[in-house]
Structure 1
Amino acid sequence: MSTVRLPRPDGTVEQRRLAEPVGWSRPAGPITSRIAFAAAHVVADPLGDNTPGAPAVVDWEATLAFRRHLWSYGLGVAEAMDTAQRGMGLDWASTRELITRSAAAAREAGGRIAAGAGTDHAPADLASLDEVTAAYRTQIEVVEASGAQVILMASRQLARLARGPEDYAKVYAPLLDEVSGPVILHWLGPMFDPALDGYWGSPEVPAATAALLDLVGGYAGKVDGIKVSLLDAGHERRLRAALPAGVRLYTGDDFNYPELIRGDGTHHSDALLGVFAAIAPAASAALQALDAGDPARYDETFAPTLPLARHLFAAPTWYYKTGIAFLAWLCGHQPGFTMVGGLQSARSVLHLAELVRLADDARLLPDPDLAAARLRAFLDVAGVPR
């Protein structure tokens, strides 16, 4: 039975019957019109001590099965990114194993994979830019050895130490000289991680953008693209138009992705999005429509996912991972609603109830009876009255 009770902010409880599932189509071959990565979450082992500050204990079977789910819809996997709780519960030992295991699974599945190389294994109080560069090298070696494409993640230590754009160039330039293949640079805004405020050398976005473009201009052959997560569609359009030929703009804008990926007829964004982990079947269907030259169906498919995405990434934005794990549990992709670092407690019952409404509106609950049973159990534990 797929009728559920959903609490409202006014203290009342709605009775809702979940919609029948959509038979989302999987692509017959690779998606060709855009490159699209879903930044995937990790599944916590429900029997592990995944309390705040404890080493992460990962359910590897469920974590890798979720990646196979993403590949089956023609999406690439962006591994070990902030969606996987880098800096929010996933320690370096588990991150290293995650990259290695996922890259091996990608080879078996014929799926595309890129993985984040950062500096989060190093002490927070690194004393010099040279130490930051060395920390990056350690993680780049792991990613390259796995066979995944390198994503150079933003570094909290670099943000703390840098005094201007020249310090970012001092760290990134030798790394770009050394990498074996084109990388994706990552610009993660402070709404996702407050410790990254002022990245690229200035709190003023135009000045930071100019510094980034200077770096990319000197290393265009070593930069596949820039992943931008500033939630500013106008800025993204301006930046992608200014990029050197052949350098992609991978949108990380979980608020405006349909219009940015669709493009303006001259430029478009590719995608590296956490929300794609939550809406993979619909994202795949929309991109298949774009492949088929059917922009109307593309718009129609993405439209109901946008309210879901905007709620999922509502402030405080960095807790969006909780909603992604909750939806994965309701959809049957993991055995329980647990997260490394105890992050399942980071969103309220009301926030998660609204997430169910919006996911149901977007027809993204593949087994309504399972979703309803799990939701009833969750609400019972939370104390929501019947």
Structure 2
Amino acid sequence: MRILHTSDWHIGRTFHGVDLLADQEFALSAIAEIVAVEKVDVVVVAGDVYDRSIPGADAVLACNRGLERIRAAGAVIVATPGNHDSAARLGAGAAFAAAGGLHLRTRVDELAEPVLLADGSGTVAFYGLPFLEPDVARRALGVPEARSHVEILTAAMARVREDLAGRPAGTRSVVLAHAFVVGGEASESERSISAGGVETVPASVFGGVDYVALGHLHTPQTLGERIRYSGSPLPYSFGERSHRKAVWVVDLDADGAVAVRRMDLPAVRGLSQVIGTLDELLADPQFADAENDYVSAVLTDERRPVDPMRRLKERFPFAVHMEWRRPGGNPELRYSERVRGRSDGEVTRSFLSDVRGEPTAAELRLVEQALAQAVSEKETAR
């Protein structure tokens, strides 16, 4: 059986306020094309199908179109929720969806009830472990004393192995799970899943199955031949600008052995960080390659420029983030030390310099007048 391992679609996510739905649909179309070319039998989505527990209508429509393309390309789909999804909402209508080839495994009390799919060599059991928040899942799993993700996932996998042991000899197995497994490398766009206890779990928790399709971390990673993260189909932070997004094509043979290939996804739009004065960024040819990327600009002007983002967009129409770093930075002193022995006027002038550049003489006169008036009003009140 040929399986395509994906995760962390985060449909509906924005990037510094920019709508990514068109980019996400492009990425899902690329996945559907891989399904068709590689003749994939099953696509698994290991959590975070949506970016929010209550996705917007446009996000739901975009996701549905992506699922339809994948299904039309010839693959059955098995998906489970992550920490961003609402399990109840994602699983609504699951029985009807299954009839059309979309299997949504969202309920804790059903995690040991696999999706059974057959190929020429027999049956493969797909177990979908929804994101298991310890405070919520421990009673459903019969371990009320559990507080950590390790304890919860240990209990969940015990149920999976018990079910698998009762199935006919030769039944192969795949587990989908959304978790932070020891050895995985996080990036800045993942939301912590530590609520309710220690979040990391050892890979050994997932022993006894043929392949573990992990979600939550956004970079493709191999923790072992049989346990991997596929990562997200798009970069969702500038910290991921050097990442190449991908999916795993997993061939599961009759004996449960796996052969895994990485398939890179096309980059929808690049991410670039540019650093320099505003005039340099607008004119220097070295930044030409970033003109069609999502851009994070670091301005190094001595004074904060006026309306810098509008001007940046003249050259970089997809600029989404800007910060001003004054050359040399600011003295790393405690505030009390910085103002000790200084007059009100000096403190105010320093503040203005820190936040917007050296004030003009006219601005300083206005500050002096305001301070004088404040002192006068205070004396009058006495």
Q: Same fold (TM over 0.5)?
A: no
The alignment's TM-score, normalised by the length of structure 1, stands at: 0.44
The alignment's TM-score, normalised by the length of structure 2, stands at: 0.44
Would you tell me which structure has more strand in proportion to its own residues? 2
Structure (1 or 2) with the larger CA radius of gyration: 2
Would you tell me which structure has more helix in proportion to its own residues? 1
Which one has more relative contact order, counting CA pairs under 8 Å at least 6 apart? 1
